[in-house]
Structure 1
Amino acid sequence: MVDRIAEVLNISDWQAKLIVTGAVVVVLAVLRWLVLVVVRRRIEDSSVWYRTRKLLSYAITLVGLVVLVSMWLEGSGLATYIGFLTAGVAIALSDVLKNLAGWALIVLRRQFRVGDRIEIVGHRGDVVDIRAFRFTLLEVGNRNDAEQATGRLLHVPNGLVFTEVLANFTSGFEYIWHEIPVLITFESDWEAAEGIILAAVRSQALDQADPKVAAELRATAARYQIRFTHLTPITYLTVKDSGVLITGRLLVPARGKRIIEQEIWKAILRGFKERPDIHLAYPTIRTYFDGPIGIDKK
């Protein structure tokens, strides 16, 4: 066909191939549009339509690549043809292949498993399903500003594990450090307040004598070369604009942070209630006048 076009138009073979290439691209684009219009009328489910549209696009792209590569490499040898064909398939199906490679990485390297709590691309949740092209999260936090499930399912492409930072909250060691900041006024007895906060934090502290906790600590240290020197609760003190900030810090289960924080705050509020010399602080503005203030009574 290329030879015939070159002969009729009195042009070179490569110019004829350029014309045929343009014609093939236009024909395939029109064909894709017509097929999608017909198929769209028969599909109501948006998810099915999405998958069908992608599949048709991949198929038509693949057909176009085969036709064009066979034309341009006519007489160049089977090895060259196969090489270009493989490259074309890899380009056309790059997202699919990337997701498959991500699935292999997840399964073989155990970056996370079903049941783990992870965070990726700013989305946090519990893994409820892992498939060849995507994994599914039961969303945690986000709108309710807490470590509680929202009820929404997030479907994440597997390929993101290659390009995005992945945080795993429960793999290896199911505990995370959590801090509770308490701001009191400058006039408060900060030493007494610190004692109350430390006692409240210790009441919910991790039991290091628990065999399960000890085993997890040993396994984590052996696998990631992580050393936990201090696991006991501690308080830190600093001065802010509106008062003295006392921060309690402790290890909590990744899925129990909200309940533990609630119990600690209850203990702190009970302790402060018994001490009239301790007051929670909030942003305030104080104005001081130097000298007598005159009042005009006109």
Structure 2
Amino acid sequence: MDKTNALFERWFHEQNIERLLIISIGVFLTLLFSYYLKKVISRRVVDADNKYRSRKAVNIVSYALIVSVVLFVFSDKLGNIGIALGLAGAGIAFALQEVITSVAGWISIMTSNSIKIGQRIKVGQIIGDIIDIGVFKTTIMELGDWVEGDLYNGRITQLANSFVFKEPLQNYSADYPFLWDEITIPIRTESDFNRARKVFEEVANEVCGAYSEKSKVVWTQMTNKYRIEDADVQPLVTLTFDENWITFTIRYVVDYKKRRSTKDKLYTRFLEEIRKFDNIIMIATSSLEVSNVVIPNDTSDSPKDI
């Protein structure tokens, strides 16, 4: 029994065991503190964006504390392993270059605020809303692909944060959360095009006028920040024609998240107004002309359809 106690006491006081115990206690206390702090944040913070950022900050601080505990416990060993780390550094950097670049990308995102949670971006061929920004990866809820329009397709994609250095980043909702969109409407050449222009302008202002006013304020702020000209954000109706029909193009500003629903409202209102002007504004349709032609070499006297 005495030998067992002595062996246990010697094992317990062995230097490496002491260090492991100190690290275990430090990690446990850090995780416990982090758990209760995140619970407090969930109860006290109402805004979803602030809550997300606060919980992320707690996680980062917890990781930093754990690393600090480990470094503190093994501080007397750091001098001895400095040479080994220096020799292995080049190999580690090469093997983990994607990881290192992703961390650098995360630092760039956090310090520059180039993208934020909730913004809509396009990276390569992927379009979606950002739902999470981690140290290594950014998570996106995808739009489009097999789904028409700016609608979620249900697929969640994770991108390594290195994309900020490797891919062109297109942000739909950073400084200017509006988009320009267009609708084309063909009408028959015998239609009253002046009346049609007036009707289309009235409908466009009715549906998109509020977006124009909001976007005008934001655009003014952008002209103070960037070297950019003052754009016309009011709905614009333009006309072209050829031998087939007259084509009106309605250009308007819309919220980047309401592009499809706004287009639906516009089409609905256009049809409602066009019906009020029967035989005055007529939608053009494609037509095929079939001629009755007589073939000269044919011995038959009756013409044949071609």
TM (normalized to structure 1)?
A: 0.65
What runs of 5+ residues in structure 1 fail to find an aligned partner? 1-77
Q: How does 1:11-22 map to 2 (within 5 A)?
A: none
- Give me the whole-angstrom Cα distance separating, in 2, the residues matched to 1:191 and 1:209: 24
Contact persistence 1:234–1:250 (CA under 8 A): yes
Change (3 A) 1:186 1:174: same
Q: 2:141 — aligned with what?
A: 138
- Give me the whole-angstrom Cα distance separating, in 2, the residues matched to 1:201 and 1:237: 15
Tell me which amino acid in the other structure corresponds to 2:262.
I
Q: After TM superposition, what 4+ stretches of structure 1 lie above 4 angstroms from structure 2? A: 81-84, 212-215, 287-294
- Give me the whole-angstrom Cα distance separating, in 2, the residues matched to 1:176 and 1:228: 15
Equivalent residue pairs, number: 218
SS at match of 1:179: strand
Say if 2:187 is the partner of 1:184.
yes
- Give me the whole-angstrom Cα distance separating, in 1, the residues matched to 2:212 and 2:253: 14
Contact persistence 1:242–1:282 (CA under 8 A): no
Tell me which amino acid in the other structure corresponds to 1:159.
S
Q: 1:219 — aligned with what?
A: 221
Tell me which amino acid in the other structure corresponds to 1:164.
E
- Give me the whole-angstrom Cα distance separating, in 1, the residues matched to 2:164 and 2:89: 25
% identity of equivalent residues: 24
Change (3 A) 1:189 1:85: same
Contact persistence 1:197–1:248 (CA under 8 A): yes
Tell me which amino acid in the other structure corresponds to 2:92.
V
Q: 1:266 pairs with 268, 287, 295, which one?
A: 268
RMSD over equivalenced CA pairs, Å: 2.9
SS at match of 2:185: strand
Q: CA deviation at 1:215?
A: 4.7
Change (3 A) 1:245 1:215: closer
Q: 2:69 — aligned with what?
A: none
- Give me the whole-angstrom Cα distance separating, in 1, the residues matched to 2:212 and 2:172: 22
Q: 2:252 pairs with 250, 253, 273, which one?
A: 250
- Give me the whole-angstrom Cα distance separating, in 2, the residues matched to 1:247 and 1:263: 16
Tell me which amino acid in the other structure corresponds to 1:250.
Y
Q: 2:153 pairs with 150, 155, 170, which one?
A: 150
Change (3 A) 1:241 1:166: farther
Tell me which amino acid in the other structure corresponds to 2:121.
I
Q: CA deviation at 1:289?
A: 6.4
